Chain A
Amino acid sequence: MNTLKQNLPSIDAIFPYIGTVLLILGGSYFFPQILGFDYLAQQLQIAAFLGFLALGATLVILLGHIDLSVPWVLGGAAIVSTSLVGSGNPALATLAIPAALIFGGLVGIINGVGVAILRIPSMVWTLAVNSMLLGVAVLNTGGFNPKGEASGTMIWLATGNLAGLPVAFMVWVGATGIIALLLKKSAFGRYLSSIGYNEKATFLSGVSTPSVIFAAFAIAGLCSALGGVMLAGYANQAYQSMGDPFLLPTIAAVVIGGTSILGGRGSLIGTVGGVLFITLLTSILSVMQMSDAWRNIIFGLIIIIMLLLQTLRRKGS
């Protein structure tokens, strides 16, 4: 209802921002350059790659499902776009980005079919889809890094600057804004979290729940593909398993952002905070030049602490 204040960001969503600020302040104690504009702008650029993935993942997790096909939708989209550009045919090169997005959307729809119609648990179905995409990619490239390069547009999207801010960050904020508007203003957004809380009751309220699940997975596929295009532009190439390191940080960013892994409760604004937090944490840990082993342990510990604090606070209230 219009009079209700339900869409104000909840404390859950503000939480990761507080964490981010603390990280910056804490990090700057050791490395003053962290407070510099260049460093922060670079972090925003890097955050955008994770941000696209987490944007799509938020929709799926709000539904109460999960999308584990993120790595190879990202990898596949990168391969599709760079191969088209690398073909040398300018007509095909202009199709690079749309083709990658269509690829992502199609995989999303396949995920939707498995989850909404065949009723296979999303965790299993999307894992299988991920594995099959990996197989197709290896068949296609013979196991070597795929040939090809990024187009000028892709490189600009990933590394360009506009009015001093990274283009990637602005595209991310724009995409997040559009989807946030969709969630807030349309019935789709309402259905999404209702299904996450209780699919049966939502269905019995006369909602076509399969089409909502379809749409969410399709949007998630699009977002992962966009992330792949960006990352290919950033690296100026696609490479095997380029998406693998992103899967867990994506889910971590969504959950730290206050979205319940069981579905229903959550927000995009929180996910943005979660993405910023995870990106900065990774960056600061690598700046500190400690061994990989310790970096992984501390990364895991801090995520657990964040989640514990969220849970404790919620229980307390």
Chain B
Amino acid sequence: MSRSEHPIVRLCGVSKTYGATHALSDVDFSCFGGEIHAVLGENGAGKSTLMKLVSGVIQPTSGSIEVDNTITRLKGPADAISRGLVCMFQELSLVPDLSVRENLMLGAVGSGLGRLDTGVVQRAQNTLAQIDGGGIGMRTRVADLTLAERQQVEIAKALTRDPKLLILDEATSALNASVVEKVFRLIREERDRGVGVLFISHRFHEIETLADRVSIFRNGTHVETFDNGAYDYGAIISKMVGQRIDDLFPAKPSTAPDAEEVLRLDGFGWANSLKDVSIVLRKGQITGLGGLDGQGQGDVLQGLFGLLKGTEGRCIVAGTPVSITHPKQAKNPKLGIALVPEDRKTEGLILDQSIARNLELAALGTDGINASDPAIYQPFLDALELKCDSLDQPVTELSGGNQQKVALTKWLALGPRCMLLADPTRGIDVKTKTQIYALLRRLADSGVAILLVSTDYEELIHLCDETHIFYQGRVARHLTGRDVTAEAIIGASLNIPSSAETSEVANA
């Protein structure tokens, strides 16, 4: 595993912004041939943006990309592939309605204008046979394959492209351990032939066994690159975490672990996404749900709001076992459950309608509430300091933060017993965040039970009274009090044994 002299790809002062958000700022980064380079970072740290830049999917806002020591503008994925930069994306890039064979030939080297190279298929079959994918029929529709089989096909497809730099973005997330080991053997063979590999994974042990070098990203910046093994888990995690802000959050009152139960989930499950989840929400408490994206946290909220069919386990609201099958039932004052969904633009609000109409929509038709009375919304709008010309203004004209205030108020006016919030502060400016945090704390103090899904561990630490961290549909760890630390949250998110055990692993 001799590393090439010159980097295959080098990023110099690269930034990428989407509107006001900086996905990457001023990043210098190189990857060499003959080396497996792992990239680590939290959700939103900029890993995927980096991959998309290198594979030509997006262009940098500023800065330059050098391929083989010459400054290059990658015009698109096809251009990148022709230069040997081959990416296997986590959002699988196979066409579901085509057969495996057709997918392998799609855009293969040397094909075009109807000329199809069937040699590609033979080589892909050989590769598949090496990674336990020999049983995948070439004529099978991709849509009929399992997620794991699709990933195997993706890997085989990427390797048929003769990469100089192979980019694997969560390439093994659906594969089981024995297949992963075979994929790794294949990747090492590629490396030994001089191919560079960029590897993104949330599985720490995979990075530990595979990587030669590790780079850490945080909030769109490149923190550090070091040889694998230079730091232990704890050090790596604190590099991923960075610094914190304290006064963003309202003071936490002393916890009352014996407060009245508002809602209890016992052995809650749904299909394959959620298994044996037990959570208790108490009066006046803010309970956080954390973890990496899509580990089942969001499904808990949806299940509680009656959006999932066929859930298992028991749900007890105010002492009565209930089965919630429809949002209309959930919002009924008898249950008093409200959900502020994750995507305010398509789920939480009707952007083309006025603020007033949006506010009324949840309250309309609810017993004992006069939806057309502005007085029921005003206290919350005042508390959140909604900025608007009038309530007749279309919601689409408001800023993201103000939109979220409308989405919150719409439900607060119902006086819910239990608020479910899906990442309510995502993409929102700091000032609005503090207003929302303060309001949530005040609501909790007034007796509302709050269940908050967050991708921001600062919220889990400083806002929530207790936190459940999800991993693959299960509660990986339940953290309370002083145990709620950034290290513990990230460790649990990656399903690494808790800190005491970590040091043992590190010493072993």
Contacts and interface: CB of A to CB of B under 8 A. Distances in A.
B346 A200 contact: yes
Contact of A194 (B331, B353, B366): B353
Nearest to A211: B328
A190 interface: yes
A201 interface: yes
A197 interface: yes
Contact of A202 (B339, B350, B374): B350
Nearest to B362: A205
Contacts of B365: 187, 207
B356 A204 contact: no
Interface stretch (A1-9, A14-22, A169-177): A1-9
A78 B327 CA distance: 42
A8 to B, nearest CB: 11
Given A201-B346, A206-B331, A208-B328, A4 B352 contact: no
B190 interface: no
Contact of B346 (A194, A198, A207): A198
Tell which of B341, B352, B354, B371 has the most Cβ of chain A within 10 Å. Answer: B352
A6 B327 contact: no
A194 B350 CA distance: 7
A5 B327 CA distance: 30
A193 B326 CA distance: 21
Contacts of A294: none
Given A2-B372, A205-B362, A198 B351 contact: yes
Interface in B140-195: none
Contacts of A202: 350, 361
A187 B364 contact: yes
Contact of A201 (B330, B350, B364, B366): B350
B493 to A, nearest CB: 27
A205 B361 contact: yes
Interface in A202-231: 202-208
Nearest to B354: A6
B16 interface: no
Given A1-B374, A6-B392, A198-B351, A204 B341 contact: yes
Nearest to B338: A206
A190 B357 contact: yes
B357 A205 contact: no
Interface string B321-346: 00000111011000000010100001
A206 B373 CA distance: 19
A265 interface: yes
Contact of A1 (B327, B347, B360): B360
B401 to A, nearest CB: 18
A265 B350 CA distance: 12
A108 interface: no
A203 B327 contact: yes
Interface in A262-297: 264-265
Contacts of A197: 350-353
Contacts of A1: 356, 360, 372-374, 391
A191 B371 CA distance: 13
- Give the interface size bracket for B toward A: 20 to 34
A231 B207 CA distance: 76
Contacts of B372: 1-2
A64 to B, nearest CB: 12
Given A1-B391, A6-B354, A187-B365, A205 B410 contact: yes
Contacts of B351: 197-198
B492 interface: no
Given A1-B356, A4-B392, A208 B350 contact: no
B349 interface: yes
Interface string B390-413: 011000000000000000001000
A150 to B, nearest CB: 42
Interface string B263-292: 000000000000000000000000000000
A197 B347 CA distance: 11
B77 interface: no
A206 B353 contact: no
A134 to B, nearest CB: 34
A204 B326 contact: no
Contacts of A208: 326, 328
Given A4-B391, A198-B346, A204 B327 contact: yes
A200 B361 contact: no
A198 B351 CA distance: 9
A197 B353 CA distance: 8
Contacts of A200: 346-347
Interface in A62-107: none
A9 B462 CA distance: 50
B327 A206 contact: yes
Given A1-B360, A203-B327, A205-B361, A198 B391 contact: no
Given A1-B372, A4-B391, A201 B360 contact: no
A131 B331 CA distance: 41
A202 B364 CA distance: 11
Contacts of A198: 346, 349-352
Tell which of A191, A202, A207, A208 has the most Cβ of chain B within 10 Å. Answer: A207
B348 interface: yes
A241 to B, nearest CB: 38
Nearest to B359: A1
Nearest to B392: A4
Contact of A204 (B347, B354, B357, B364): B347
Nearest to B365: A187
Interface string A238-279: 000000000000000000000000001100000000000000
A202 B352 CA distance: 13
A6 B307 CA distance: 32
B333 to A, nearest CB: 11
Interface string B356-393: 11001110111000011110000000000000000110
A191 B366 CA distance: 13
A194 B98 CA distance: 37
A201 B305 CA distance: 13
A208 B326 CA distance: 8
A201 B346 CA distance: 6
Interface string B22-52: 0000000000000000000000000000000
Nearest to A2: B372
Contacts of A2: 372
Given A197-B350, A204-B347, A190 B374 contact: no
A201 B411 CA distance: 13
Tell which of A3, A6, A191, A201 has the most Cβ of chain B within 10 Å. Answer: A201
A201 B362 contact: no
Contacts of A201: 346-350, 361
Nearest to B410: A205
A207 B328 contact: yes
A124 to B, nearest CB: 20
5 contacts: A198-B349, A202-B350, A204-B347, A205-B331, A264-B352
Interface of B: 305, 307, 326-328, 330-331, 339, 341, 346-354, 356-357, 360-362, 364-366, 371-374, 391-392, 410
Given A204-B347, A205-B331, A264-B352, 19 more contacts: A1-B372, A1-B373, A1-B391, A6-B357, A190-B360, A190-B361, A194-B357, A197-B351, A197-B352, A198-B350, A201-B346, A201-B348, A202-B361, A204-B305, A204-B339, A205-B361, A205-B362, A207-B361, A207-B364
In the A-B complex, list the 5 residue pairs whose CB atoms are closest, starting with the nearest: A206-B331, A206-B327, A205-B361, A205-B362, A187-B364
